[in-house]
Amino acid sequence: MFERPPNLTHPLLESMSRRQLLKAGGALMTLLVSPVSLAADTRILAVRVWPAQDYTRITLEGADALKFSSQIVKNPERLVVDLEGIEFDSVLQSLPSKILDSDPYIKLIRAGRNRPGVVRLVVELKTEIKPQLFTLPPVGNYGHRLVLDLFPVQEVDPLLALIQKSSPESAAAGQTADAPDTTPTRSERQPELARTPPRALDKAPPTDRDGLTRPKVTRMITIALDPGHGGEDPGAVGRAGTLEKDVTLSIAQRLKARIDNEPNMRAMLTRDADFFVPLGQRVNKARRVQADLFVSIHADAFIKPEARGSSVFILSERGASSTAAKWLANKENASDLIGGINVRTRDAHLARTLLDLSQTATLKDSNKLAKAVLGEIGDINTLHKNAVEEAGFAVLKAPDIPSILVETAFISNPEEEKKLADEAYQDKMADALLRGIKKYFAKNPPLAKSKLAMLE
């Protein structure tokens, strides 16, 4: 008589139905043929390169968060970046072709598969750099971004660049003007702490060809022009595809040319090409050249396409002058999120500066400038409001420079979008802004500065 063989069935299997056993077996077979160590590759959606004299930015946009490691290699100078968990596809293959010969910092880029699941980028450099690499979470129309910012070891000095770009005629005018005592005053020795508001130098100043009062200016007047947005941050986009960043740069460049042609006046641009400048750096650039005025140029959008007209804003001490003004300010202040700022390197000094709103004289001068400009642009376009508006725009928070923000028109309005894209309208806007600036200085001529202060 045969004995029954011992039960070799696992207790867990005894409790499972036939269907459950089939499912478990299928799952086991899947594990056997599919290595669990190979996760799905991250897909690269886009690559972009933004060259500029200030710095060059490379942006890699992925469907998921990008993992990377990097190192600087010497002799010759190279930046090596390994991208993990991705494969070398057609998007990455296009990256080398995006490098321009005119790029100040990048000679060329080589990209290829380094090992399974790792793509290596080798950035051959024209000079020594200080790289900043950081990731950004999805925002707006962007997915996950890896940003490679290549800064020069010797930071670009906006004041030196301004002096070098000044025309010989302007430089000569500054040198031959009646110069006061070269001993710097307290405010000139500490330009970051305080600036005395402008006062008239002559009791009966002469008038110019336009009939405007022209004070006797004993030094070069410097005006900081701030074209809104740029680079990764396109700003508002019109229905026909017009980009705010393109419009603002074009108008600012036209205005700069006009200012530079004026005797004893010169302009600097916070950006002179299509690249991103954080809001805080825009303010700092203006302060570093000891600008007499700061004019930020925009062409924004609103939630309603019928919104139209030009506006001029100053900083608000209390709150926005309207719901629309608050909405616009919040939208503009989000520029750092869209453009992509490395929060670990945020300027601590600026954080203190933005809270220093005690210089009421600066706000009063900002209001005078805004009224002069508003009166001029009202001659070329409908005004959104007939009064100067107020809101908490970050770029208007320099405590020692009269500052305004000009909304040249609403790019979200189809009719005004056509105007903004028209070169003739851009010229008219630049002319109107210049007339407003000249009217302001006709009544509020700047105080004299010593040569020493101008070169600090």
Q: What's the pTM value of the predicted model, to 2 decimals?
A: 0.76
Reading the block at residue 384, the tokens are 């959104």
Least confident of 96-110, 227-241, 385-399: 385-399
Higher pLDDT, 19 or 390: 390
Average pLDDT of the residues in 296-310: 87
Higher pLDDT, 201 or 345: 345
Least confident of 69-73, 218-222, 242-246, 260-264: 218-222
Cβ neighbours of 190 (radius 10 Å): 11
Give the model's pLDDT for residue 448.
59
Per residue in 174-188, pLDDT tens? 333 333 333 333 333
Give the model's pLDDT for residue 395.
74
Give the model's pLDDT for residue 158.
77
Give the separation between CA 444 and CA 202, rounded to whole angstroms: 11
pLDDT mean across residues, the chain: 78
DSSP string, 179-206: ----S--HHHH-TTT--PPP--S-SS--
Task: Assign a CATH topology to domain 44-152.
Answer: Immunoglobulin-like (2.60.40)
**Domain assignments of the chain as residue spans, ordered by start:** 44-152, 158-455
CATH number of the structural domain 158-455: 3.40.630.40
Query: pLDDT over 90 for what percent of the chain?
Result: 53
Average pLDDT of the residues in 81-108: 94
Average pLDDT of the residues in 188-217: 41
pLDDT band of 394, cuts 50, 70, 90: confident
Give the model's pLDDT for residue 255.
98
Give the separation between CA 204 and CA 358, rounded to whole angstroms: 32
DSSP string, 63-85: SSPPEEEEEEETTTTEEEEEEES
